[in-house]
Amino acid sequence: MKKIENRAVKSVRRVAPLFMTSMLAACIGIIGDDAGTDGPGGPDAGTQSCDGGVQVGTRGMRRLTPLQFQNTMRELLGLDDFVAGFSDRELLITETGVRQLRADAEYAITRIDAWKPGLVPCDIYGAEDDACVDGTIEALGARALRRPISEEDRVWLREVYQSARTGNDFSAGMEALIGTLLQSSSFVYLPEFGLPVDGHDAVRKLTDHEVANRLSYFLWDSMPDDALLAAAEAGELSSLEGVRAQAERMALDPRAEAKLQSVVYGWLEIDGTIIHEPIEALSRDEALYPEFDAQLVEDMKTELRAFVRRALFEDGSFEELLTSREAYVNKSLADLYGVENGPADDATWTWVTLDAERYSGLLTRAAFMTVQASRMAQSPIRRGVWVYEQAFCSELGTPPPNANDVPVDGQHDGEQLTVREEVEIITAGDGCSSCHSIINPIGYAFEHYDAIGRWQENEVSSGLPIDSAGALKGTDVDGDVADAVALSARLADSGRAKDCFAERWFVQALGAAPSKEDSCSVAQAELGFAERGDLTDLFVAIAVSDAFRYLATPD
Stretch 432-451: mean pLDDT, rounded? 94
State the pLDDT at residue 315. 80
State the pLDDT at residue 3. 39
Q: Are residues 167 and 303 in the same domain?
A: no
Query: H helices within 61-207, ranges in order?
Result: 66-77, 95-110, 130-145, 151-164, 170-183, 185-188
State pLDDT tens for residues 496-525.
999 999 999 999 999 999 999 999 999 999
470-472 and 479-481: which strand pairing? Answer: antiparallel
pLDDT band at 181 (very low <50, low <70, confident <90, very high): very high
pLDDT band at 30 (very low <50, low <70, confident <90, very high): very low
Q: Are residues 327 and 426 in the same domain?
A: yes
CB atoms within 10 A of CB 94: 12
State the pLDDT at residue 1. 36
Residue 214 belongs to a domain:
no
- Cβ-based burial of 555 (10 A; exposed 0-12, middle 13-18, buried ≥19): exposed
pLDDT band at 404 (very low <50, low <70, confident <90, very high): low
Residue 6 belongs to a domain:
no
Average pLDDT, the chain: 89
Question: Does residue 74 or residue 92 have the better pLDDT?
Answer: 74
Q: Are residues 366 and 470 in the same domain?
A: yes
Q: Are the beta carbons of 337 and 354 closer than 8 angstroms?
A: yes
Residue 223 belongs to a domain:
no
Residue 106 belongs to a domain:
yes
Residue 384 belongs to a domain:
yes
DSSP assignments along 333-368, one per residue = HHHHHT-TT--SSTT--EEEE--TTT--SGGGSHHH
Q: Are residues 283 and 382 in the same domain?
A: yes
Q: Look at residue 298 and tell me whether its pLDDT is greater than 80.
A: yes
Residue 3 belongs to a domain:
no
CB atoms within 10 A of CB 547: 26
Q: Report the SS3 class of residue 67.
A: helix
User: What is the rounded CA–CA span in Å between residue 21 and residue 429?
Assistant: 20
Burial 26-61 (b: 16+ CB within 10 A, else e): ebbbbbbbeebbebbbbeebbebebeeebbbbebee
Stretch 160-184: mean pLDDT, rounded? 93
Q: Are the beta carbons of 224 and 216 closer than 8 angstroms?
A: yes
Q: Please tell me the total count of domains within the chain.
A: 2
Domain boundary among 190, 214, 236: 190
H or E segment at 205? Answer: strand 200-205
Query: Which long-range contacts link 136-139 to residues 24+ away (Cβ below 8 Å)?
Result: 136/174, 136/177, 136/178, 137/177
Sequence letter at residue 22: S
Q: Are the beta carbons of 171 and 94 closer than 8 angstroms?
A: no
Q: Are residues 476 and 381 in the same domain?
A: yes
pTM, full prediction: 0.88
pLDDT band at 402 (very low <50, low <70, confident <90, very high): low
Q: Report the SS3 class of residue 315.
A: coil
- For the chain, state the CA radius of gyration: 26
Residue 1 belongs to a domain:
no
Q: Are residues 277 and 147 in the same domain?
A: no
Q: Are residues 181 and 263 in the same domain?
A: no
Q: Are the beta carbons of 468 and 483 closer than 8 angstroms?
A: yes
User: What is the rounded CA–CA span in Å between residue 269 and residue 267?
Assistant: 5
Q: Are residues 383 and 468 in the same domain?
A: yes
Rounded alpha-carbon distances, angstroms, from residue 487 to 371, 382, 477: 19, 16, 10
What distance lies between CA 240 and its chain's CA centroid? 25
Domain boundary among 438, 458, 493: 493
State pLDDT tens for residues 152-163.
999 999 999 999
User: What is the rounded CA–CA span in Å between residue 391 and residue 490?
Assistant: 11
Q: Are residues 365 and 274 in the same domain?
A: yes
Q: Are residues 301 and 414 in the same domain?
A: yes
CB atoms within 10 A of CB 290: 9
Q: Are residues 185 and 264 in the same domain?
A: no
pLDDT band at 49 (very low <50, low <70, confident <90, very high): low
Q: Are the beta carbons of 505 and 540 closer than 8 angstroms?
A: no
State the pLDDT at residue 27. 59
Domain boundary among 162, 190, 218: 190
User: What is the rounded CA–CA span in Å between residue 12 and residue 455?
Assistant: 35
Residue 176 belongs to a domain:
yes
User: What is the rounded CA–CA span in Å between residue 176 and residue 166?
Assistant: 11
* Domain encompassing residue 87: 62-190
Q: Backbone phi, then psi, for 273, in 5-degree steps?
A: -140, -175
Rounded alpha-carbon distances, angstroms, from residue 126 to 133, 179, 501: 13, 18, 54
Stretch 398-425: mean pLDDT, rounded? 80
| Mean pLDDT lowest among 206-210, 267-271, 481-485, 550-554 | 550-554
Q: Are residues 177 and 267 in the same domain?
A: no
Residue 97: which residues within 8 A CB-CB, separation 6 or more? 86, 87, 88, 90
State the pLDDT at residue 339. 97
Sequence letter at residue 381: I
Sequence letter at residue 437: S
Q: Which residue in 513, 268, 535, 489 sits closest to 387, CA to CA?
A: 268
Q: Which residue in 484, 550, 540 sits closest to 517, CA to CA?
A: 550
User: What is the rounded CA–CA span in Å between residue 330 and residue 347?
Assistant: 7
Residue 146: which residues within 8 A CB-CB, separation 6 or more? 186, 187, 209, 212, 213, 223, 224
State pLDDT tens for residues 3-27.
333 333 333 323 232 223 333 444 5
State pLDDT tens for residues 216-263.
999 999 999 999 999 999 999 999 999 999 999 999 999 999 999 999
